[in-house]
Amino acid sequence: MTPLNTLANLHNPALHSKLQAAIDNKTKPPGSLGRLEALAVQIGEILGTDKPVLEHPQMVVFAADHGLTAQGISAFPADVSWQMVENFLAGGAAVSVLARQHGLALTVVDCGVNRDFLAGLPAGTQRPGLVVRKVAGAEHGTADSSQGVAMTPAQCEQAMRNGMELVRDLPGNALLLGEMGIGNTSAASLLLARLAGLDVELCTGAGTGLDAAAVARKCEVLRKVLALHADAMQPLDALAAFGGLEIATMTGAVLQAAAQRRVIVVDGFIASAAVLVAHALQPFVLQRCVFAHRSGERGHEFMLQHLGVQALLDLDLRLGEGSGAALAWPLLQSAMNSCCSIWAYKLC
């Protein structure tokens, strides 16, 4: 992997004080807007100004398939990955609806879905809202991590580089993370177990809707995968061993967004797993992250605890796609508006 420039510590005491003083001067008792006030300060610090404005928010949904689905770890068939990509493009998925509601530009990235979305189209044709960034040798998804590594180190690096390049050219100053990939709660559980040093049982949940017996079987599959890759202790080794391509691409996207001082709105369990890897590489990445919600997927609360962060919403969501990030978006806008536009006492 190309060495990454070390992310700077954003903390700026002078700016922090200025932002806090501005908020304390608003026509309200100090602190009465609760966590919205801390959110306003954080966004101001990320954007490096006491008059922050969120511009051209970009919802990017990273999609890929997982070889581990061959072990029966999901309640839904793997075909749902590509079917849902088509649903995103047709505007009928939850994240499509929520992105429309909140004026979020929606881009779907094919990081390795087992489908050629451009099949039958003339060469060079683009499909609106779709970006194809398949990794060589992994066009149909990752390999089965219960048999070997999900990605080779070169594939993992290519996926991360794809994510970096993609974000580099996006407009605006806010990136909302979404994802789609049947089997990807398993990859996220494996990354959490390994990078946070937790027992895999704490990290394993129902995903799209397994019953208790199936969760127990999924957990045993994951335990064997962890044992097979016992030497994959470093963040990038673990990422390559467990996958997936969408998580690796998203990890690159997070690192790039952080370097560009974009506000990163983190969705649920899978998006947080990408941040978990990025954080292990660059701890200051967390300063740029707003955690949208605490997922109903078992493991997410432990992931948030491990990262030492608190999420904005707690609505028992467990859909992914970026739905929680989209639902939390108006709170960021409200934090900005209340920070910037409630009359200050001194002006009244």
Shortest CB 256 distance to another protein, Å: 29
Q: Is 321 marked active-site?
A: yes
Strand-pair category, 105-112 with 174-180: unpaired
Using alpha carbons, select from 236, 214, 342 the residue that is nearest to residue 281. 236
Report DSSP letters for 320-338, one per residue: -TTHHHHHHHHHHHHHHHH
> How far apart (Å, rounded) are the C-alpha atoms in residues 203 and 133?
29
E strands present in the chain: 58-64, 105-112, 130-132, 174-180, 263-266, 289-291
> How far apart (Å, rounded) are the C-alpha atoms in residues 6 and 8?
6
Shortest CB 128 distance to another protein, Å: 17
| Binding of another protein by 76 (CB under 8 A) | yes
| Binding of another protein by 71 (CB under 8 A) | yes
Angle formed at CA 154 by CA 148 and CA 159, multiple of 5 degrees:
100
| Binding of another protein by 72 (CB under 8 A) | yes
Please, which of residues 82-111 interact with another protein by CB under 8 A?
83-84, 86-87, 90-94, 96-98, 100-102
Closer residue to another protein (CB): 58 or 71: 71
Please pick, from the candidates 19, 23, 36, 245, the single residue that binds another protein as defined by CB under 8 A: 36
# residues near another protein by CB under 8 A: 49
Stretch that binds another protein, among 218-226, 233-241, 265-273, 298-306 (CB under 8 A): 218-226
Binding site for another protein (CB under 8 A): 28-29, 31-36, 71-77, 79-80, 83-84, 86-87, 90-94, 96-98, 100-102, 208-210, 214, 217-218, 220-221, 312-315, 326-327, 330-331, 334
**Active site members:** 321
